[in-house]
Amino acid sequence: MAPKHHPTPLSGGDRKALSKELGRARAMTTILAAQSAEARAKGEALIHTADKLLCESWNERMWANGGPIDPSPSIDQAVHGGYPWLEIECSRCKTKRDVDLAELRHPPTTFVHDLASRLRCSKCAKAGRRATATLLQLGTRPRQPDPEP
């Protein structure tokens, strides 16, 4: 984009005043850009904190009430909040497993409680059964060792 053209005034005093105002405007753009970056960083930190608190709140409600609680954080909120793992349990064989939310093939706006009907036990699936998974909690790291290599 071409810079804006400012017609040069005829008198020397007006030229000096225009030059001074253009210098102030250029300095102000630098200051405003720095303030914008600082505000954006603060906003990102606040959003990260809010996502983390939402995940912790959901975990506490899951522990207290024992079921997929609505509303839950979305997948991207859980990952951004530092809780990228979902601990599940097979409703049939009671095998616990950890699911990496970042690797799921679901839109990142999908809510975690909506995954309850979509996740299946891989152990029971090998045996030809389609047992659903029970959601337990979100985690910062996998809690169970991966049974499959």
Cα(first)–Cα(last) distance of the chain, in Å? Answer: 55
Average pLDDT over residues 69-75: 86
Average pLDDT over residues 116-126: 80
DSSP state of 144: S
Sort 66 into a burial class: Cβ within 10 Å, 0-12 / 13-18 / 19+.
exposed
Phi, psi of 137 (to 5 degrees): -170, 165
Pair of tokens at residue 8:
């040069």
- How big is the chain, counted in residues? 149
Task: Say how far apart CA 139 and CA 136 lie, in whole Å.
Answer: 10
Pair of tokens at residue 133:
């998974």
Instruction: Between 63 and 143, name the one with better pLDDT.
Output: 63
**Summary mean pLDDT of the chain:** 85
* DSSP 3-state of 139: strand
Residue 28 is predicted with a pLDDT of 94
Residue 149 is predicted with a pLDDT of 43
Residue 144 is predicted with a pLDDT of 59
Q: Which residues pair with 137 in a beta bridge?
A: 87
Average pLDDT over residues 92-113: 88
Helix H or strand E encompassing 145: none
Output the pTM of the full model: 0.72
Contact between 97 and 119 under an 8 Å Cβ cutoff? The reply is: no
